[in-house]
Structure 1
Amino acid sequence: MRKRSYTCGLDAAIDVMGGKWKGLILFWLGEGPLRFGELRRTVVGISERMLILQLRELEASGLVHREVHDQVPPKVEYSLTEFGHSLLAALTPLGQWGEDHIERLEALP
């Protein structure tokens, strides 16, 4: 496995976040643990396959914890790790900026 090398902190953060779905998943998990089906309904527009892929990547990065409860039917919950909460805290001002400028951004061609 190749060692990752970054030019700056923003480069590293964007590498971990990659794409539009991970930020949304982190946002909703910031509200508390969610089961897969709950996440699927909450993250509007994401396919089941993409959600599985994104959750696996977030788990591999140490941002999300996957807990399997030993019961029938199986119950799996996803939650943010401490590391995930720290990234969400960094993303919160960016989300606020988006909220503050959403009308302007939606009006762009």
Structure 2
Amino acid sequence: MGVSKKEISPCPIDVTLSVIDGRWKGTILWRLLDGPMRTNELRKSIPEITERMLLRHLREMTGAGILERHQEQGLPLKVHYSITPYGLTLVPVLDALCTWGREHLKRDLAT
């Protein structure tokens, strides 16, 4: 039986995946590695994502301490996101996932 997202699994892999799972979270993190981006810039850099899903993932990763939301005063309201120092500890994990994914794609293409 699977573990619901509200339950805490004692497995470190499950804990990690619970923070970065989601169709677009890896892509969002990858984009933000180049530096802070406004919400609209992120949306344009990932054309397939809906605004609702982007905001949901940004909110979840901000809640997990992976991202920071910066809001500038004034009109129009300017909001941008950046990776926190804690979030940067995920870089080796993302690199390993990317490397494995590339190898898996090659394997799939070979069959």
TM range, smaller chain: 0.7 to 0.9
Distance 1:89 1:44 in 2: 26
Q: Secondary structure at the match of 1:62?
A: coil
Structure having greater relative contact order (Cα 8 Å, sep ≥ 6):
1
Runs of 4+ with >3 A deviation: none
Instruction: After TM superposition, list the pairs within 5 Å mapping 1:71-90 onto structure 2.
Output: 71-90=74-93
In structure 2, the gaps of 5 or more residues are 1-5
Instruction: After TM superposition, list the pairs within 5 Å mapping 1:50-89 onto structure 2.
Output: 50-89=53-92
Summarize deviations over 1:46-99 as a string: whole Å, max 9, x none.
101100111000111110000001122111110000111111332112112223
- 1:37 is matched with 40
Distance 1:98 1:43 in 2: 19
Identity of aligned residues (%): 39
1:8 Cα shift? 1.6
Q: Over the residues paired in the alignment, what is the CA RMSD in angstroms? A: 2.0
In structure 1, the gaps of 5 or more residues are none
